[in-house]
């Protein structure tokens, strides 16, 4: 080194410089800007269908099915990150990529089944919101579902995406806060709950409920939605450094958001197990659950239950509509845009048939549980589509799944398919 020339700092000095408080604060602020798409997706798996499945699981089997929430969330993190990976690397959502890279005889039935799954999802969301209005204000179910539909369509068709994202984050916060208080009020047996989170067990007669918990957490429409909404964070597809940064921050967003969902879903089972199962009370209706909570935990718990259900129903109806718009627009090689006719048609195709189903359903609680089972049956189709695309060099280029990623993702797909085979065998009495 020439005399008098500036000397480069050593690695220790550079390390200290990178971790100075102002640098860390800047990194934290930058990370917070990326939080949002994951939470938008999270609201889809803390929806009223989850409420029905989790309350049924806790009331009938106590803490024994908590492990399925853990397993489902691990599968969810893998699959949602992979779906977002597709959106970041290609600039296309799952539906667009399917239309572009698959032959029409394959893409149409696959995306068609995804639309049907989205209708089943929207049914659960709208039904839950209507039940909440009935519990809070005595609004008749058929009137309530129309009110929830009107509010969801208003938010979808008049607000920009980022404004909706902020609404959803607020809704998730209210739901999470409500269940935090509920678990504080409830007499949870933590010694029994702790091992149940990591100990697989399917009690006799529990398989349909187990699969409804899986279908309620790992939801097909959310995989399509995440690959779309992640693109709300604009980036340069030609800049590899930018793409890698997007992938890194997206994973942190997904990990954080799915962990929030895991906590809320777990809280639902904890609440049901520590109240209804403890006293041997079977729950066949969310309204019944609210009524039974009042004498067990007090009026505050019952009110919190109903308010959280309302926010869950409204917010998840919004995301179900967005997913329907995303899938239908994908048929035409288009991304989601609430002002575009194809996206709007998809919104209506997801939400309007769901309203009709609510109006003709005789047993709302049973309908919620069955809708989640239907999602679990369609789920392998969407997973196999996603893995086919993200493993392809033609589609993903250098960002295709690595060997480790492929092993993890195909293992997740195998687990879902195996559980579905068990469900069909159980339903057919084989």
Pick the residue with more confidence: 333 or 14? 333
Is residue 190 situated within a structural domain? yes
Alpha-carbon distances, residue 259 vs 70, 368, 375 (angstroms): 10, 24, 21
Q: What is the mean pLDDT of residues 154-182?
A: 78
Is residue 413 situated within a structural domain? yes
Q: How does pLDDT run across 3-49, given as a tens digit for each residue?
A: 444 444 444 444 444 445 545 565 556 555 666 577 777 776 777 77
Is residue 30 situated within a structural domain? no
Tell which residue, 258, 16, 36, 78, has the closest CA to residue 167. Answer: 36
Is residue 318 situated within a structural domain? yes
Residue 243, pLDDT score: 76
> Among all chains, which residue has been given the structure tokens 């990529």?
97
Residue 166, pLDDT score: 76
Most confident of 9-23, 172-186, 341-355: 341-355
**What is the Cα gyration radius of the chain?**
22
Q: How does pLDDT run across 78-103, given as a tens digit for each residue?
A: 999 999 999 988 889 999 999 999 99
Instruction: Find the length of the chain.
Output: 430
Q: How does pLDDT run across 250-269, given as a tens digit for each residue?
A: 888 888 888 888 998 898 89
- Asked whether 111 and 95 are in contact (CB, 8 A), the reply is yes
Q: How does pLDDT run across 37-46, given as a tens digit for each residue?
A: 777 777 767 7
- Asked whether 197 and 320 are in contact (CB, 8 A), the reply is no
Residue 146, pLDDT score: 95
Indicate whether 220 pLDDT > 80.
yes
Residue 31, pLDDT score: 56
Is residue 18 situated within a structural domain? no
Determine whether 150 is exposed, middle or buried from the number of CB atoms within 10 Å of its CB (0-12, 13-18, 19+): exposed
Number of domains present in the structure of the chain: 1
Share above pLDDT 70 across residues of the chain, in percent, rounded to a whole number? 83
Indicate whether 395 pLDDT > 90.
yes
Residue 268, pLDDT score: 87
Is residue 29 situated within a structural domain? no
Distance CA 358, CA 352 (A): 10
Residue 43, pLDDT score: 75
Q: Token pair of 69, please?
A: 């929430």
Long-range pairs of 290-299 with CB within 8 A, sequence gap ≥ 24: 290/135, 297/182, 297/185, 297/186, 298/185
- Asked whether 249 and 34 are in contact (CB, 8 A), the reply is yes
| CATH at 273 | 1.20.1740.10
Distance CA 345, CA 328 (A): 7
List, in sequence order, every beta strand (DSSP E) within 62-107. none
Residue 417, pLDDT score: 79
Tell me the angle at which helices 94-101 and 364-390 cross, rounded to the nearest 10 degrees: 50
Structural domain of residue 407, as residue ranges? 35-427
Q: What is the mean pLDDT of residues 364-388?
A: 81
Residue 429, pLDDT score: 60
Q: How does pLDDT run across 293-326, given as a tens digit for each residue?
A: 776 667 777 788 888 888 888 888 999 999 999 9
Share above pLDDT 90 across residues of the chain, in percent, rounded to a whole number? 30
Taking the whole predicted model, whether its pTM rises above 0.75 is answered as yes
Is residue 3 situated within a structural domain? no
CA 157, 159, 160, 163 torsion-angle sign = negative
| Mean pLDDT score of the chain | 82
Pick the residue with more confidence: 291 or 227? 227
Distance CA 406, CA 137 (A): 50
Which of 62-71, 205-214, 231-240, 395-404 is predicted least confidently?
231-240
Tell which residue, 88, 153, 86, has the closest CA to residue 125. Answer: 153
Residue 9, pLDDT score: 47
Residue 185, pLDDT score: 82
Q: What is the mean pLDDT of residues 150-156?
A: 90
Is residue 14 situated within a structural domain? no
Residue 238, pLDDT score: 60
Distance CA 120, CA 138 (A): 25
Residue 191, pLDDT score: 93
């Amino acid at each position: 080194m020439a005399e008098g020339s500036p000397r480069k700092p050593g690695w220790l000095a550079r390390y200290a410089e990178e971790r100075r408080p102002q640098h860390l604060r800047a990194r934290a602020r930058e990370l917070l800007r990326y939080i949002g798409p994951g939470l938008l997706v999270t609201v889809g798996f803390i929806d009223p269908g989850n409420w029905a499945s989790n309350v049924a699981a806790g009331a009938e089997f106590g803490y024994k099915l908590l492990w399925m929430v853990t397993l489902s969330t691990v599968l969810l993190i893998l699959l949602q990150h992979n779906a977002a990976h597709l959106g970041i690397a290609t600039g296309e959502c799952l539906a667009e990529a399917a239309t572009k890279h698959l032959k029409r005889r394959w893409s149409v039935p696959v995306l068609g089944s995804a639309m049907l799954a989205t209708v089943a999802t929207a049914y659960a969301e709208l039904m839950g919101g209507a039940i909440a209005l009935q519990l809070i204000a005595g609004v008749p179910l058929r009137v309530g579902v129309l009110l929830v539909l009107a509010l969801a369509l208003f938010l979808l068709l008049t607000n920009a995406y980022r404004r909706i994202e902020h609404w959803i984050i607020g809704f998730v916060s209210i739901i999470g806060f409500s269940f935090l208080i509920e678990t504080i009020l409830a007499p949870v047996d933590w010694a029994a709950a702790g091992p149940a989170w990591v100990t697989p067990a399917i009690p006799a007669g529990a398989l349909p409920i187990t699969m409804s918990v899986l279908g309620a957490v790992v939801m097909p429409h959310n995989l399509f939605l995440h690959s779309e909404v992640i693109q709300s964070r604009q980036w340069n597809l030609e800049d590899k450094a930018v793409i890698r940064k997007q992938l890194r921050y997206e994973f942190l967003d997904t990990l954080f958001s799915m962990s929030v969902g895991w906590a809320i879903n777990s809280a639902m089972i904890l609440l049901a197990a520590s109240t209804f199962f403890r006293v041997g009370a079977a729950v066949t209706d969310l309204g019944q659950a609210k009524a039974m909570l009042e004498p067990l935990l007090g009026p505050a718990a019952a009110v919190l239950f109903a308010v959280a259900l309302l926010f869950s129903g409204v917010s998840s109806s919004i995301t179900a509509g967005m997913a329907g718009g995303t899938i239908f627009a994908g048929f035409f090689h288009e991304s989601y845009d609430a002002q575009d006719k194809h996206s709007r048609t998809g919104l209506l195709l997801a939400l309007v048939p769901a309203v009709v189903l609510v109006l003709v359903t005789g047993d709302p609680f049973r309908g919620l549980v069955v809708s989640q089972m239907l999602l679990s049956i369609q789920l392998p189709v969407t997973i196999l589509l996603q893995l086919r695309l993200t493993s392809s060099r033609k589609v993903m280029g250098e960002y295709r799944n690595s060997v480790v990623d492929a092993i993890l993702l195909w293992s997740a797909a195998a687990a879902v398919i195996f559980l579905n085979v068990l469900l069909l065998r159980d339903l057919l009495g084989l």
